[in-house]
Amino acid sequence: MTLDIETLLSRARLVPTAPYGRADIEAAEARVAARVAAHALDGGRGTESAGGPGREARPRLPTRGHPAARNLRALCEAFLTRPSALDDLCAWPAGSLPEPSGARILGGLLHLAGCEDSARFWWQYAAGAGDALSSYCLYLHHRAQGEDKEADWWLHHTDLTPATLNREATELEVATALDILAAMRRGQGGLPAALRALVEHLPGVVGFVDDDVELPLPDGDLAALVEEITAGPEGPARGARAPHDPLPERRVAGVHTVSSAQWYVLRWNNRDVEEALRQCDETVAS
């Protein structure tokens, strides 16, 4: 007869242990700090420690020169320079979370600004809500990092519009089109001046602004900032700050590091946001 889990647990023996006090916590922190310092001095090659011989970090291909990295940059530049692309970002209400398209735009800007982890988070958020372009960005991102297993997973879960008789041929068509796009954009000077200014300014206004919500969120009115930076010589858009008001002082960019495998429970009042994040969590975990 199969025993249920409650019966097995009722027969389990709990071995009493000494309470884990503040001194134990401080000792553990000291051990971790010592290992980190030793790892840094060793140049990241792996060090001997009390826990056993050091292990080499998993080798990664250089991202900047990887074809997938070039294609990802070309793709980001392409959807960021589409007409009214930034409207989705400007439609982001202060104090809330964006629509999937707005999250993809924010991820693209953060990627071009070098904030890889924050960009990946917002693409995961958008992909979990069904944004196929964000899923493809994640595929290219992981491929450029040499993380082939993760890249294949995201490619498999990208809802590509069929361009040929089968999916394999469609994937090849999309990859070829991106190769051509990346080659065409070479030597064109990159982004327009207004978008370049936004990319340079954005890391200083996006970070972990709430102790209760561990998300890389904008600190302040992102829509007003976007409208002011991208207004151009015609002047700021309606509702933006007056022309004589300077841009807010650029802060030192926060640490944009969010684990791709770590998701947080948000204390948010918006039920739609909670449902979108739940679906995203299930998509990544499946």
Task: Specify the range with the lowest mean pLDDT, choosing from 116-120, 123-127, 144-148, 180-184.
Answer: 180-184
pTM: 0.58
| Cα angle for residues 47, 145, 177 (degrees, 5° grid) | 170
Average the pLDDT over 126-152 and give the result.
Answer: 92
Tokens of 171: 């994937």
Average the pLDDT over 230-245 and give the result.
Answer: 47
Report CA dihedral (80, 82, 84, 86) to the nearest 10 degrees: 0
Average the pLDDT over 122-134 and give the result.
Answer: 92
> Residue 2 CB: number of other CB atoms within 10 A?
4
**What is residue 57's DSSP assignment?**
P
Task: Specify the range with the lowest mean pLDDT, choosing from 24-38, 99-113, 218-232, 271-285.
Answer: 271-285
Task: Say which amino acid occupies 170.
Answer: T
**138 pLDDT band (50/70/90 cuts)?**
very high
52 three-state secondary structure: strand
Q: What is the pLDDT of residue 64?
A: 59
> Residue 104 CB: number of other CB atoms within 10 A?
30
Predicted confidence (pLDDT) at residue 263 exceeds the cutoff of 60: no
**236 pLDDT band (50/70/90 cuts)?**
very low
Residue 286 CA to residue 284 CA, distance in Å, equals: 6
| Cα angle for residues 170, 174, 178 (degrees, 5° grid) | 170
207 three-state secondary structure: strand
Angle, nearest 10°, between helix axes 67-80 and 132-144? Answer: 150
Residue 62 CA to residue 56 CA, distance in Å, equals: 17
Task: Specify the range with the lowest mean pLDDT, choosing from 38-42, 90-94, 116-120, 125-129.
Answer: 38-42
**202 pLDDT band (50/70/90 cuts)?**
confident
Q: What is the pLDDT of residue 20?
A: 64
Question: Among residues 131, 173, 156, which one has the least CA distance to residue 276?
Answer: 131
**276 pLDDT band (50/70/90 cuts)?**
low
Domain spans of the chain, in order of start: 59-243+253-286
Across 14-23, 79-88, 216-225, the highest mean pLDDT is recorded for 79-88
**95 pLDDT band (50/70/90 cuts)?**
low
Residue 274 CA to residue 58 CA, distance in Å, equals: 35
Residue 124 CA to residue 149 CA, distance in Å, equals: 16
